[in-house]
Structure 1
């Protein structure tokens, strides 16, 4: 009897959570596809593309010129075969991502990420959420970006997190570990990065700190793996700033699915208001 009960719990404990995590890992890729397929988002990219590309290229070229070979030489003391070159590459890319995040992301691209996130929600029919923080016009030639008014409240896509930057830098030495260092680094930094990608969603839902933490805790593995995939895209030279905007689209798509699930759950819990006559007394 006990074995049967344990087997019956396998889908709930193992299969369904694994399926949800794997599905969540696809959102960053879905965000890229969505961004490409919806030209109304292109102006938000064009406004940031040139300065983003120039800045990230400048930072990475300097890091690879000045820091790459010394770090590979240092890693070679701990690594066998050619893994020092691979880990050294990820180490420099990680350093570049941290520097670019400090110089660019937190100061220049956040407003565009908010517009991308809100435009996706509007396009998907969830403008009610967005109206809590900015007006949304009813008609603008089917262009969700043009429908967005100026924010009436403080609107931040992802807050500047000194703790995240500090953890990112502190965890960089994990790349010293042969073979397992890079995946471990991405996983641990994704733990913090994932939930921050839904900061805008939490604000639109008016979550306080307790509600936000509880929401994330129920989806901790999903957020961690989402954050890890997001960071992998951030490590692609020259395209990290582009993927900041596609990440906003992907997090919005995830928020849309979460809202649909919430609406379905509320509909199932809502009491039935259908009129029903009492059954006739057969004895009459």
Structure 2
């Protein structure tokens, strides 16, 4: 009993520390800042436009497939819990699942390079050209993405086969009303927060151990960035747009960290 009490107290202290870190960092604001910054800086739009057609096509295909194969079984299962509201709940669930799957596929096959350009372009816009040159050439003149040259250091793919499988394994959590979705968002947020800053870690020349130590030290901040970012990307039909604005938000955060470190 004493051991259980001790573990509970330690967990309470850890949660308190993570919460304080999240609140003090204000990292949760950067996904929103990314939306406004992206909307007001046309020089960052080109990567999104270049991948819009294949992404929309993928989204339509995935959504059609999901409704055809999974809507009725999920509606039947949800009827046990939600009763007559199962029809609407199942639609929302299928749309959310379709958005998540579309995001996974798009990041794996279409938009990874476009997101890289968006991140680097935002750093250039924020006068972090010297930092960006650690990973690619930067041309004089112009602004944002138009100044980006050849990539010298390509970041490791965030969506390896293992990561894709993990993401798909998490999806069934959405089947559990409210609680399951909350767990899914937190788990994804915990992972996606550090992943969003992976390019920054690379440009800084951090080793794998340094990254792990840094992320663990600021776990609350990275999770607080990841949770709203995941929520935005789960919005049906426009989730991919938010993937780009989240990338902008991550770059804005990276630029601020860089400014504070200098």
The TM-score bracket by the shorter chain reads 0.7 to 0.9
CA contact (8 A) 2:54 2:110 kept: no
Residue pairs, 1:237-256, within 5 angstroms: 237-256=236-255
Q: Distance in 1 between matches of 2:18 and 2:126?
A: 31
Q: CA deviation at 1:161?
A: 3.3
Q: CA deviation at 1:216?
A: 0.6
CA contact (8 A) 1:191 1:228 kept: yes
Q: Distance in 1 between matches of 2:135 and 2:206?
A: 14
The residue aligned with 2:109 is 107
Q: Distance in 2 between matches of 1:72 and 1:138?
A: 56
The residue aligned with 1:276 is none
> Whose helix proportion is higher, 1 or 2?
2
Query: What TM-score comes out, normalization by structure 1 length?
Result: 0.78
Unaligned runs of 5+ in 1: 1-11, 264-284
Unaligned runs of 5+ in 2: 1-15
Work out whether 1:175 is the aligned partner of 2:174: yes
Q: CA deviation at 1:71?
A: 0.6
Alignment match of 2:74 (pick from 71, 77, 81): 71
Q: Distance in 1 between matches of 2:18 and 2:49?
A: 43
CA contact (8 A) 2:131 2:203 kept: yes
CA contact (8 A) 1:187 1:225 kept: no
Q: Distance in 1 between matches of 2:233 and 2:60?
A: 13
Residue pairs, 1:175-254, within 5 angstroms: 175-254=174-253
Q: CA deviation at 1:87?
A: 5.5
The residue aligned with 1:147 is 147
The residue aligned with 2:24 is 20
Classify the secondary structure of the residue corresponding to 2:127. Answer: coil
Query: What TM-score comes out, normalization by structure 2 length?
Result: 0.84
The residue aligned with 1:259 is 258
Higher relative contact order (CA 8 A, sep 6+): 2
CA contact (8 A) 1:87 1:176 kept: no
Q: 1:259 to 1:87 in 2, by over 3 A?
A: farther
Q: 1:120 to 1:99 in 2, by over 3 A?
A: same
Aligned length: 247
Work out whether 1:56 is the aligned partner of 2:59: yes
Q: 1:177 to 1:106 in 2, by over 3 A?
A: closer
Q: Distance in 2 between matches of 1:182 and 1:99?
A: 15
Q: Which protein shows a greater Rg?
A: 1
Structure 1 runs of 4+ with >6 Å offset: none
Q: CA deviation at 1:90?
A: 5.2
Classify the secondary structure of the residue corresponding to 2:51. Answer: helix
Q: CA deviation at 1:14?
A: 8.5
Q: CA RMSD of the aligned region, Å? A: 2.4
